[in-house]
Structure 1
Amino acid sequence: MSALPLHPRFVSLEGGEGAGKTTVLAALRAALEAAGDEAAGSEIVVTREPGGTPLAEKIRALLLHPGEEALAAETELMLMFAARAQHVRATILPALERGAWVLCDRFTDSSYAYQGGGRGLDAAFIDVLEQRVVGLRPGLTLLLDLDVAQGRARIESRDPHPDRIERERGAFFERVRQAFLARAAAEPRRFRVIDASRTVDEVVAEAVARLRAFAGAA
């Protein structure tokens, strides 16, 4: 695993389907706002992947819409990195250069988990793309870990029309989960694993505590 710079104001949120990232992300933003960061002149940018710019959002639609033509694993990976390249250069890097906090729903770790672990693509190839196209990693990555069956049940209960990736089988998502956990074990300095099977309040409380500890040490 190649070393890339960890940015001290860049936080990513990762996890499988149904882990509750949207709720936690909103709580993280509220925690930074409550800490007075904006009053001190520091902006908070909340963004997502794939997406985060108008062009990247169009690529997101291609990736998630269950169209008639099946996407090859390599096509999916390259589209993910095309969206990420635009996102990094148009949204993330400019915000970090302004001194803003960036909170991102998914980042490159999702490619290692979904296209690497899930689809079986070579992690070394993903690493080359990360080095050449992305060039940085979050200083903190919160991984919301959840049993696959529980996550799928949550998705099914909230959305009768799952997207293309949500339609995958359980074995795919188990490979994704294990890939996330392997990355967390390999990078303990950056990752904090949070048990997302607990109540919303418990998960949010731990995520906010982790963010505050990181922000205080940054």
Structure 2
Amino acid sequence: MAVADPSHPPVGRFITFEGGEGAGKSTQVKRLAERLRRSGLTVVVTREPGGSAGAEVVRHVILSGAAEALGPEAEAMLFAAARADHVDETIRPALEAGQWVISDRFADSTRVYQGVTGRVPAALIDELERVALDGVAPDLTILLDLPAEVGLKRAAVRRGSADADRFEKEDVAMHAARRDAFLAIARSEPRRFAVVDASHDPDMVAEDVWHAVSARLGLR
């Protein structure tokens, strides 16, 4: 088992999970957090949109579809507002306390969902990101990758009789474009990203995730 080094003071690390609908992000976030805790680390698990009191209010507005009529630029601004609160209230304090933070989605999702497929200008996305993050950036981003049609089927099974949310309801072509966009970002930032094949069973995916985290972030 990998363990934290007791001879050094705790150093906070920030890990984000990205990927399309149904990729298994929530499952893998939970599994990784449990394994890191068994290694003696203090772990904060969070999500986007959401992760703080103010951001959770915005989450309901976005995922309900109430903001869709305002257009992708306004939606990107709402995400940025939620993210700023999330960073200030949850992520930064935990990192400064030497804790590890794992977030189910972060800024890359805005780059893809609103930037690429929503066609919000890159300059606006970059400026919103600069203001919202205020210097906070992931140490490692795990991209759980699988074909869009597989992810959508998984998402449908997961929600059962509940209605699809704002993003799940879109067609497979849109989700395929988002997969391509995530992979393009990963190729452009190989030092930050680890791409994991999410089409395997959850146990195998969890092992691949653990290998990436332990290798990249110096656990032993």
Instruction: Calculate the TM-score normalised by the size of structure 1.
Output: 0.90
1:21 and 2:20 are equivalent in the alignment: no
Deviations 1:20-60 (A, max 9, x none): 001100111011111122xxxxx211100010111100000
Letter in 1 for 2:143: L
Deviations 1:61-94 (A, max 9, x none): 0000134972311111000000000000111111
Within the alignment, does 1:192 sit opposite 2:194 as a pair?
yes
Q: Contact conserved, 1:117 with 1:178, CA < 8 A, in 2?
A: no
Matched residue SS, 2:176: helix
Counterpart of 1:180 (choices 179, 182, 186) is 182
Q: What residue is the counterpart of 1:150 in the other structure?
A: 150
* Secondary structure at 2:80 match in 1: helix
Question: What is the DSSP-based 3-state SS (H/G/I as helix, E as strand, rest coil) of the residue aligned with 2:132?
Answer: helix
Are 2:186 and 2:193, in contact at CA under 8 Å, matched by a contact in 1? Answer: yes
TM-score, normalised to structure 2's length?
0.89
Q: 1:156 to 1:71 in 2, by over 3 A?
A: farther
User: CA contact under 8 A between 2:16 and 2:103: conserved in structure 1?
Assistant: yes
Q: Residue by residue, what CA displacement relative to the aligned partner does 1:139-192 show, whole Å, maximum 9, x if unpaired?
A: 100000110000111111221311111111112212211111111000000000
Q: CA RMSD in A?
A: 1.8
**AA matched with 1:168:** E
Q: For the residues of structure 2 that align with 1:83 and 1:166, how far apart are their CA atoms?
A: 20
Change in Cα spacing, 1:128 to 1:154, as seen in structure 2 (3 Å) is same
Aligned residue for 1:114?
113
- Number of equivalent positions: 207
Task: Specify which of 195, 208, 211 is matched with residue 209 of structure 1.
Answer: 211
Cα distance in structure 1, aligned partners of 2:123 and 2:72:
15
Give 1:8 shift: 6.2
Match of 1:35 among 32, 39, 43: 39
Range 19-28 or range 162-171, more displaced: 162-171
Unaligned runs of 5+ in 1: 1-6, 38-42
Deviation at 1:127, TM superposition (A): 1.2
Indicate whether 1:89 and 2:88 are aligned.
yes
What's the offset of the Cα at 1:16?
A: 0.3
Task: Tell me the distance in 1 between the aligned counterparts of 2:218 and 2:67.
Answer: 49
User: How far apart in 1 are the matches of 2:60 and 2:194?
Assistant: 30
Cα distance in 2 between the residues matched to 1:147 and 1:109 = 18
Maintained 8 Å contact 1:27/1:208: no
Conserved 8 A contact 2:92-2:136: no
SS of match in other structure, 1:36: coil
| AA aligned opposite 2:171 | R
Q: Is 2:14–2:95's contact at 8 Å kept on the other side of the alignment?
A: yes
Aligned to 1:40: none
CA distance in 2, matches of 1:129, 1:65: 22
Alpha-carbon distance between aligned partners in 1 of 2:90 and 2:51, rounded to the nearest angstrom = 7
Cα distance between partner residues in 1 of 2:55 and 2:13: 22
Q: Which of structure 1's runs of 4+ aligned residues deviate more than 6 A?
A: none
Q: Distance in 1 between matches of 2:44 and 2:22?
A: 23
Q: For 1:61 and 1:214, how far apart are their aligned partners in 2?
A: 34
